[in-house]
Structure 1
Amino acid sequence: MVKLTYDQIFKDLVKSAYEGKLDEGIEKLKKQGNGDVEQYIHYATGGGDPGKVVFKVKECSCGCEEEGCQVSCLMEAIERDENGNVIIKGSLCSDCGQCVGVCKHDCLVDKKEFIPLVEVLKNRKVPVYAIIAPSFIGQFGPAVTPGQVRAALKRLGFYGMVEVALFADILTFREALEFDAHVQKEGDFVLTSMCCPMWVSMVKKVYTKLAPHITPSVSPMVACGRAVKKLHPDAKVVFIGPCIAKKAEAKEPDVRDAVDVVITFKELKQIFEAVGINPAEMEADEKEHSSTGGRIYARTGGVSKAVADTLKRIRPDKEIQIKAVQAHGVKECKQMLQDALDGKINANFYEGMGCVGGCVGGPHVLIDPAQGTEFVNRYGEEAASLTPADNRYVLALLKSLGFEEIEDLFDEEKAKIFSRNFPKGV
């Protein structure tokens, strides 16, 4: 028997699915693999509890307690029983995937959602759009352009690719308007709800007394997915990013209408390799319309800068401008939220990113986070517009979605597509 890794099994199954031989591929893997193969196949093909993302495949007493999954989980959702085996406490688990990243023995895995989509992509009867996170730039090679990534995705069977940065631009307007409305005097503050499901999960599950301060915007992923489906009602939407936690966010009851499937950069690289696609060799299909602000959401401080720049642009006379503070990594985020809970208010705009460096430090990135930040900053500098207020593409997109004025984004009825309800605290 051959000891097959979870990643190897996923890659082999993708190849078999594109060749129209998935059943044969599954049987072949079962015959050549060890005793864990059937479990791996189950989760690699989208099996398991539909509401969960992280699964324990087998018991683990591997002696990695000092550097393993329990230490990596700063939400304290992982315990060990008297035999040293892992127990995941679902009530605290944020599905961030940090434990999956450090598990060296494939005892913990995250569900793969791509393979059930292959037949849809192959027959092309239903348009499937890829929406890709702002942190994608540079992930598939330093010289690979957004247009080449788009062309590679079209080769896989996607109808098109939309940069989520474009919807980060739209939500920047929303956040600026929220700040304008809610921060009227010294001591007022907001917690941005943008981007990071781990940050939102911390507020919802642990720091619930701060919930009244969280802005009611959906993430750029959800905004993009909903907009695509509003403009193309029969479409399916696949989000591509660095984050395992996005798989859980897409399943949350109040936003699960937006995105059908989530895959990570690491998974997409494996998919490209399985079917023999090299983005660097593709003829570019360039269509880039996002602003600097939307593009830099991928790194720590990007949301704060984007919203601050936009507020100055649309509310230049507002007395209180944004004084932001950021935290990245769960440990820093928890400390910043605890300080706010304790009344140690030293800012009026709080930004939290669960991964160190922001999304460029996600568990399934392909390059070093520092290098990812450089690519993101450079891509931001290349944008034709600093803020969405100066971006004619953003303004035209808003009109196509029914927003005649920027202020319509603050209209409760009109802006449902970009809004969600958070608990009001305890």
Structure 2
Amino acid sequence: MSASRYDEIFKRLVKSAYHGDLAAEKEQIRRTGDELTDQYILYAAGGGDPDTVVFKVRECGGQCCAGDEHCRASCLFGAIVRDRQGNVVIKRNDCTGCGKCVEVCRHYSLVDKKEFVPLIELLRDRRVPVFAAVAPAFAGQFGPGVTPGKMRAALKRLGFYGMVEVALFADILTLKEALEFERQVTKEDDFMLTSMCCPVWVSMVKRVYRDLAPHISPSVSPMVACGRGIKHLHPGSKVVFIGPCIAKKAEAKEPDIKDAVDAVLTFRELQQIFEAVGVDPAKMEEDESEHSSTAGRIYARTGGVSRAISETLDRLRPDRKIKIRAIQADGVQNCKKMLEDVLAGRLKGNFLEGMGCNGGCVGGPKVLIDPAAGREFVERYGEQAASPTPVDNRYVMELLKQLGIDAVEEFLDGEKAAMWIRNFPTGR
């Protein structure tokens, strides 16, 4: 059994669920499968512990080849150990669900749960509006000719009520982070860690570098902001986040923010869904366009968050004496080094941006194209935006009013800001 077999089972379940004969297809797969088939069916259909993302499907006996990156070594949080026989044991209390172990396992002993099949009945029924919230890294992932409008049309063909680009809510959080920087950094030696975008980065600060937690901004991620925003505007709706990252599946299940998103799909899973039901985004007609600014669109690559917030702060407070001096790190090892340098007093920056994947989200484990090409598509899409920052974007300001925010300063305190705020630990 291999990852390709697991993916093939997923595609068969998707196709049969759309046709209304899921139970019969499961039985057919079982009759032609091996001893692992039941587990693959369970997790491909969204089963198993509802709060767990990564599952072990078989014992591996420590069969990793020389030169392989081991799951144990890849785990930043010490959640993977081996028993006396060399078999993998996942310590659930320590596992963050980041999916790095799934990414590096060459023997397919670990899988991440696929969450789409349980939603298909809702998509077919259409009585409950289900929205697709698409990560900024989507640009170019499904082909150079797949515009945002074509992607929106393809998702509607699957049964989604609509598509919202998460970049629009990244715009909103850019405003909030700029104001957070203004509040937190009042002296030359002050600094702030952004909490946005990457759940691996956030988990590193919360679990490993807790002494730095007081310096992290109390903002939800754009994914959570988007989910909450959609549900505020469309009560009773469901939200499915689509992006390049396994870790987002775990983030969506965290207790304080699990209200925002109902399921998470990776780009690779969405491609498999399109293939299973015969939808080609490149052949779709254009649907309506999006109104995000350059700032929100470039969140998908390393340095994008820093640039967006710096330029937005300059627009909001052009006379501010202490400007953003941003330092970025991408990849787990580089993020660790940057945080250790901060603790040791070796960094001179005052705004720290971390992303767990090399290159940022365009280098995520479930992207469909080369990260360098992904960055180029993101940059190009950013350049096409009508507004450079959310301050200049009238659509952002109109959306904020619909969400109960009349002035940007209201992001920082009070009941109106509650949907945009997380409570992080305050250190040791």
TM-score by length of 2: 0.97
Partners of 1:110 and 1:72 in 2: how far apart? 16
Partners of 1:94 and 1:43 in 2: how far apart? 18
Partners of 1:396 and 1:221 in 2: how far apart? 20
Partner of 1:39: 39
1:13-412 alignment runs, 5 A limit = 13-61=13-61, 62-64=63-65, 66-67=67-68, 68-412=70-414
Partner of 1:11: 11
Answer whether contact 1:187 1:345 (CA < 8 A) is retained.
no
Q: Please give the per-residue CA displacement for 1:13-45, whole angstroms capped at 9, x wherever unaligned.
A: 101111111001100110111110000111111
1:71 aligned partner, one-letter code = A
Partner of 1:414: 416
**1:77/1:2 Cα in 2 relative to 1: closer, same or farther (>3 Å)?**
closer
**Superposition deviation, residue 90 in structure 1:** 2.9
Which deviates further from its counterpart, 70-79 or 205-214? 70-79
% identical equivalent positions: 66
Partners of 2:347 and 2:414 in 1: how far apart? 29
Q: Please give the per-residue CA displacement for 1:292-345, whole angstroms capped at 9, x wherever unaligned.
A: 000000000000000000000001111101000000011111111111122223
Answer whether contact 2:3 2:108 (CA < 8 A) is retained.
no
1:14 aligned partner, one-letter code = V
Partners of 2:95 and 2:4 in 1: how far apart? 27
Partners of 1:102 and 1:164 in 2: how far apart? 28
Partners of 2:86 and 2:388 in 1: how far apart? 52
**Superposition deviation, residue 2 in structure 1:** 11
**1:397/1:284 Cα in 2 relative to 1: closer, same or farther (>3 Å)?**
same
Structure 2: tracts of 5 or more residues without a match: none
Structure 1: tracts of 5 or more residues without a match: none
Q: Please give the per-residue CA displacement for 1:42-83, whole angstroms capped at 9, x wherever unaligned.
A: 111111111110111110122336413233334443222222
SS at match of 1:415: helix
**Superposition deviation, residue 181 in structure 1:** 0.7
SS at match of 2:48: coil
Partners of 2:3 and 2:97 in 1: how far apart? 27
Answer whether contact 2:184 2:191 (CA < 8 A) is retained.
yes
Answer whether contact 1:4 1:33 (CA < 8 A) is retained.
no
Partners of 2:152 and 2:194 in 1: how far apart? 30
Partners of 1:364 and 1:63 in 2: how far apart? 22
**1:43/1:65 Cα in 2 relative to 1: closer, same or farther (>3 Å)?**
farther
**Superposition deviation, residue 264 in structure 1:** 0.6
Answer whether contact 1:6 1:106 (CA < 8 A) is retained.
no
SS at match of 1:414: helix
Kindly tell me the number of residue pairs found equivalent between the two proteins: 426
**Superposition deviation, residue 4 in structure 1:** 6.9
**Superposition deviation, residue 379 in structure 1:** 0.4
Partners of 1:330 and 1:90 in 2: how far apart? 21
Partners of 1:288 and 1:4 in 2: how far apart? 35
SS at match of 2:416: coil
1:116 aligned partner, one-letter code = P
**1:97/1:228 Cα in 2 relative to 1: closer, same or farther (>3 Å)?**
same
Partners of 2:121 and 2:51 in 1: how far apart? 23
Name segments (4+ residues, structure 1) moved above 6 Å.
1-4
CA RMSD of aligned residues (A): 1.4
Partners of 2:117 and 2:78 in 1: how far apart? 32
**Superposition deviation, residue 218 in structure 1:** 0.1
Partners of 1:70 and 1:340 in 2: how far apart? 26
**Superposition deviation, residue 247 in structure 1:** 0.5
SS at match of 2:172: helix
SS at match of 1:129: strand
1:275 aligned partner, one-letter code = V
1:42 aligned partner, one-letter code = L
Partners of 1:354 and 1:4 in 2: how far apart? 25
